[in-house]
Structure 1
Amino acid sequence: MNIFKLSWKYLMAKPLSTGLNILLLALGLSIITVLLLIEDQFENKMSRDAAGIDLVIGAKGSPLQLVLSSVYHIDFPTGNIPLDEAKAVSRNRLVKKAIPMGLGDNYEGFRIVGSNHEYLELYKVNFNTGKAWTKPFEVVLGSKVAMDKGFKVGDTFVGSHGIASASHEHDEHPYVVVGVLAPSYNVIDQLILTSIESIWYSHDDAYDPMELEQEVAKRGFPKTDESREVTTVLVAYRNPIAAIQLPRMVNARTSLQAASPSFEIARLYELLGIGISLIQGLALVITFIAGLGIFIALFNSLKERKYDLAIMRAIGAAKSQLFLLILLEGVILTFMGAVIGLFFGHLFIYILVITNEQGVISGLTPFVIVEKEWWVIAYALFVGILASILPAWNAYRTDIAGQLTR
């Protein structure tokens, strides 16, 4: 007797009840899957994007906003800071490396970031084509920008003022693509990179045209006799003591603000933790209800099948085979629910990614299996066994003589 085939036939005899139980279980498990995928990839992405950045120095305001806008490029900058003050802080003995950045422009939603070649080195980028910028208004495109906009080396475009895509265009300052980066799977894939001088000149018409032919600063801060500004400075500590002394010194003794990416993101996780816990609780409740539905379905079907089970016992089926028959039905239901739930979870992430071309969500990978997903399947099977254990025990105790005489 093929127990698996027989269990499957019994389940298919009531497709509506079976489908409803599977769908309800899949819904709960899909929510858990989405949370696991976002949690795992979000944390990994945040860690990759902030690698090598110990401190962000910028204008006074929200520390979290400063970190999000400067490291992850998902918020508005807090403002600009004087170039001279930024240079003074970078010369501190506790600073190993200081990378200046100029923000505030975009091209159709993709942010234009002014910096130097050290910013490329920070993320260990590789070029698909071309090279890094050497003159004003030369740009290097992240892989996602180049793919979405179809740009290649030699193409030109006009940037817009501000972070939003619908802003005033700098018509008199077209950018020239000189390089396209290979995918790095971090924030740099979604950026348009250029020199800080390009950011300055795009907002200032009072410059010498000859400056456009001069090479830009490839390392450190640009040299200029004028009163200029930068948006932020990314800092790497020289030693562990800097983590204690430098932020306090910057915040207390200067008009600038220092924010730690690791501290601010940890605080963000803490703020989001309550909402995530509530969603996880909802998913567990749905899964519990699905398990209860499977128990009720198996228990009710057992009442209808007592005569069939008695016949099976009469023709030679062992008690253990009847026990396994009912138990296997619960396991099949929950296994199918788990597989469909995992698929729905990945499908939902895929829809999120294709509907959010920019930002943190767009950096998620929909169809990647994380280790915790195997625990989702194990949890589903546990629910199935738990829901079917009592009906299976009742089947084990089937009274052959009593049922047949009825």
Structure 2
Amino acid sequence: MKHLNAFTLSLKSLRHKPLSTAVNLILMAVGVAMMTFVLSASQQLEEKALRDARGIDLVVGAKGSPLQLILSSIYHIDIPTGNIPLAAQATLQQNRLVKKVIPLALGDSFQGFRIVGTTPDYIAHYDGTLAQGKMFDAPMQVVLGAQAAARTGLATGSRFVGSHGLSGSGDGHGDAPFTVAGVLKPTGTVLDRLALTSVESVWHVHEVAHGIDPEDKEEKAAMDEERELTSLLVQYASPLAAAMLPRAVNSQPELQAAQPAFESAKLFRMLGVGVDVLRGIAAIMLLSAALSMFVALYSALEERKTDLAVLRTLGAPPRKLLSLLLVEGLLLAFSGAVLGWIAGHAALDILGRIVSDDQNLSLSGWYVASAEAWLLPVALAIGLAAAVLPAVRAYRTDIATTLSH
């Protein structure tokens, strides 16, 4: 039996039972596909969230839900908790515990992309650079993120009017159009899906909406005294600020401090419950695949006992029969794992295309999570474990007893 090849014999054996082989492959593939999908999607979302919050130690806004403040001011996927006095910015900037303060003025959007009143520091914070045009340097000029420009079809020199709210279906501010001054290169951050302008532009839009005459000095002076911002993004100047600044801000009746690291961790814990459930289902599918594979290999062994005994009489040593069953289990596991891995990424890519119209969510089927590295070894271990008992029985095949029946 010099030419006896365990791999070739295993392939022929698997082809001999196409239905059983297909069922085992599908079970293994589904389990691995689900695990692949969950691992890749969850890591992508977590990385995007951490990237958007990097370098922001504190968000100061109106009293309300801290998580809502983080979602609206960092991720721009919720409505703000309210407005705060403009004076809060100057107060924080003068605090020795504060390194930098970036103001945000929110409220309007265009085709679902939020219009954010801020300063060039906000763009620099995310390493934004221009692909065309220039930065906003006058009222009612806008710099578009790469995704916002691509989806809306706007380019340098284009004009548009914002609408109230985030949905893009609110009342339009037709009397206060914006002009696109520039478009940013893709950054892979929240910057890509924003329309950025000066805080003064946001104030001007709402002054026009309320019928305030900018030439009326009395009305202008009254508005200047009541200027507000939506929130402030704060960077600490020293580690001491983490212990002192949030408490100092929260003690003021109009302000609250929300820490992105703390609130993001809370959000991940909330989302983690659903992710853990999906991982659990995938693990059950993998266990089912292992049991199904074990039953199939054991049944095949019972049916082929005579064939295996004949192989022994032809000179096949016991270790050849042992390797035959082990190779079958590994082949099933490897093939199912590869099919499942491909299917998982294909499903993620399809989902990414379906949700591509949602500016707040982007997923790629080409992204490979670091945790996926253990999927193949686990699948092979499952295949090996399922084949061990049948393989040992094959190894102990008694020629005389088997052939006498």
Equivalent position of 1:290 in the other structure = 289
- 1:360 Cα deviation after fit: 4.5
**2:280 maps to what in 1?**
281
- Cα shift readout 1:213-262 (whole Å, capped 9, x = no counterpart): xxxxxxxxxxx844211111000111111111111011013411110000
Match of 1:219 in 2: none
**Cα distance change of structure 1 residues 58 and 117 upon mapping to structure 2, 3 Å threshold:** same
Residue 340 (str. 1) matches residue 336 (str. 2): no
* Contact 1:201–1:207 (CA under 8 A) maintained in structure 2: no
Separation in 1, partners of 2:330, 2:190: 43
Q: Where do 4+ consecutive residues of structure 1 move more than 6 Å?
A: none
Give the gaps of 5 or more residues in structure 2. 217-222
Please tell me whether residue 166 in structure 1 is matched to residue 169 in structure 2: yes
Partner of 1:90: 93
- How many pairs align? 393
Question: 1:60 touches 1:256 (CA, 8 Å); kept in 2?
Answer: yes
1:397 aligns with 2:396: yes
Report the AA paired with residue 370 of structure 1. A
Query: Among the aligned pairs, what percent are the same residue?
Result: 46
- Alpha-carbon distance between aligned partners in 2 of 1:51 and 1:401, rounded to the nearest angstrom: 72
Q: Which residue of 2 aligns with 1:214?
A: none
1:31 equivalent in structure 2: 34
Structure 1, unpaired ranges of 5+ = 211-223
CA contact (8 A) 1:128 1:181 kept: yes
| Deviates most, 316-325 or 348-357 | 348-357
Contact residue 60 and residue 255 of structure 1 kept, 8 A: yes
| Shift, 1:199, TM fit | 1.2
Return the alpha-carbon distance in structure 2 between the equivalents of residues 369 and 209 of structure 1: 58
Measured in 1, the distance between the counterparts of 2:340 and 2:274 equals 21
TM-score normalised by length of structure 1 = 0.92
Out of 282-291 and 63-72, give the one that drifted further: 282-291
Query: Residues 3-402 of structure 1 correspond to what in structure 2 (within 5 A)?
Result: 3-205=6-208, 206-208=212-214, 225-357=224-356, 358-362=358-362, 364-402=363-401
Which letter maps to 1:73? H
Residues 98-107 or 364-373, more deviating: 364-373
Q: Following the alignment from structure 1 to structure 2, what is the Cα–Cα distance between the partners of residues 290 and 111?
A: 47
Residue by residue, what CA displacement relative to the aligned partner does 1:113-149 show, whole Å, maximum 9, x if unpaired? Answer: 1111000110111221112111122111111122222
Is contact 1:86–1:233 with CA below 8 Å preserved after alignment?
A: yes
Bigger mean CA deviation after superposition, 352-361 or 122-131: 352-361
Offset at 1:209? Answer: 7.4
Kindly tell me: are residues 144 and 309 of structure 1, through their superposed partners in 2, closer, same or farther at Cα, counting changes over 3 Å? same
Q: Which amino acid aligns with 2:361?
A: I
* TM-score normalized by the length of structure 2: 0.92
Structure 1 window deviating more from structure 2 (131-140 vs 79-88): it is 79-88
User: Structure 2: which amino acid aligns with 1:396?
Assistant: Y
Distance in 2 (alpha carbons) for counterparts of 1:403 and 1:246 = 82
Residues 13-65 of structure 1: CA distance to partner in whole angstroms, max 9, x if unpaired? 22222111111122222222222113322222122111111000011100001
Relative to 1, partners in 2 of residues 1:174 and 1:13: Cα closer, same or farther, differing over 3 Å?
A: farther
